[in-house]
A = this chain, B = another copy of it.
Amino acid sequence: MRTLLFFGILVFGLHLNIWAQDHQHAAGHALTYPDIPGFITLKTDLHQHTVFSDGEVWPSIRVMEALRENLDAISLTEHLEYQPHKADIPHPDRNRSYQLAREEAKDHGLMIIPGSEITRNAPIGHSNALFTTDANLLLAEDPETPFAEAKKQNAFVFWNHPAWYRQSPSGNPVLSEFQSERIKNGELHGIEVINEHDYAEESFALALKHNLTIMGTSDIHGLIDWQYLEKGFHRPITLVFAKKRSLESMREALFAGNTAAVYNGLLVGKPQFINPLIKASVKINKATYIPNTDILEVELENISSSDLLFENEMNYNFYSSSPVFEIPANKTFTLKIKTLEKVSSVALKLKALGAYTAPKTHPVITWDVSVE
């Protein structure tokens, strides 16, 4: 019973903004990740759909979903060419979804990035262009124009779901000649290594080989609640390590490749970002010896929203815990280290089994622990 009007005259219609406030950090779903030295860590989902292409919700819902998960920025990347609802939403302005989301988000500190999905069959595939200034100009029959126009608009462009079996039946991504040329031309800058539920190691290898920015996205069409949250998951996100919390700074960071793709306990990225991210995610709260023993109790706190899985890489053994152990998201864990004699500091060295700095390569992180 949300509306009140006198035949066409709206009297009460401010419900969306009001309602959205209820959703800020709803129901314990808020994501948190720490900043890393030199950078602010921004939580983003830069590949999403609404009724303005083949999604099933109005842009307002995407804003509320993002507020509930405490994201910093989203992009509604409607398919430019694929418009299954065009019988009802005819010839829309391709910037329209962005405009509606920005209006909805303006009082909530959520940044909206204009963006679109350039949608072609293999071997060209799907690509997202972000920070476009006019998405309509990317519409064209030939495949080259959208990329050229995106470049003209200084857009950041990334390759979507390279391993998607509908476009690559082996699930193995193949960089086409067309795409190689786009990279060479400075028209393709990033690649999804996580899309929906799929982490593709081969896509990660391509990212490293061609120096493409590493992306993780939900590619949501329906509801975030149904696809992720009610199963106990969060959506995949891209952490963007930016100098400031601004659109411009985020764009620079994306072009510079300052990202990590994160999907629950899975963290994928270059070591210069993954390593400080994990290091910052685990705080050393205290370190004291158990009285009359050489066993050092170290209280670790995981301040991130990823469950972190570790394996001991020290020469010292643990008391109590297995060498493989998990610190759940936002929980503390007390590690007991048998230092054999009393020491004043110890280098806590752990392999992060849920993180990858290259395909099949886990980073080893070291924390300097000072004994109290």
Contact = CB atoms under 8 A, between A and B. Distances in A.
A324 B295 contact: no
Contact of A84 (B6, B13, B64): B13
A293 B164 CA distance: 10
A350 to B, nearest CB: 14
Interface stretch (A35-43, A54-62, A251-259, A270-278): A54-62
A51 B51 contact: yes
A85 interface: yes
A266 interface: yes
Contacts of A318: 201
A171 B338 CA distance: 6
A13 B217 CA distance: 21
Name A's interface SS: loop
Contacts of A55: 58
A89 B51 CA distance: 11
A317 to B, nearest CB: 5
A167 B119 CA distance: 48
A7 B139 CA distance: 11
Contacts of A317: 171, 200-202
A96 interface: yes
For the complex formed by this chain, how many copies does it contain in all? 4
A172 B338 contact: yes
A293 B1 contact: no
Interface stretch (A105-113, A148-156, A177-185, A220-228): A220-228
Given A7-B141, A293-B170, A294-B171, A353 B201 contact: no
A1 B324 CA distance: 24
A322 interface: yes
Interface of A: 1-8, 10-13, 15-16, 19, 23, 26-27, 51-52, 54-58, 60-61, 64, 79, 81-82, 84-85, 88-90, 92, 96, 119-121, 126, 141, 160-161, 163-167, 169-172, 195-202, 219, 221-223, 225-226, 230, 266, 290, 292-295, 309, 311, 317-324, 336, 338, 340-341, 353-354, 360
> Nearest 9 CB-CB pairs, A to B?
A171-B338, A1-B161, A56-B58, A165-B293, A6-B121, A170-B294, A169-B293, A171-B319, A198-B320
26 contacts: A2-B221, A3-B54, A3-B82, A3-B84, A5-B121, A7-B120, A10-B82, A56-B57, A56-B58, A56-B61, A58-B85, A88-B92, A163-B319, A165-B290, A165-B295, A169-B292, A169-B294, A170-B340, A170-B341, A198-B319, A198-B320, A199-B320, A202-B317, A223-B225, A309-B309, A353-B353
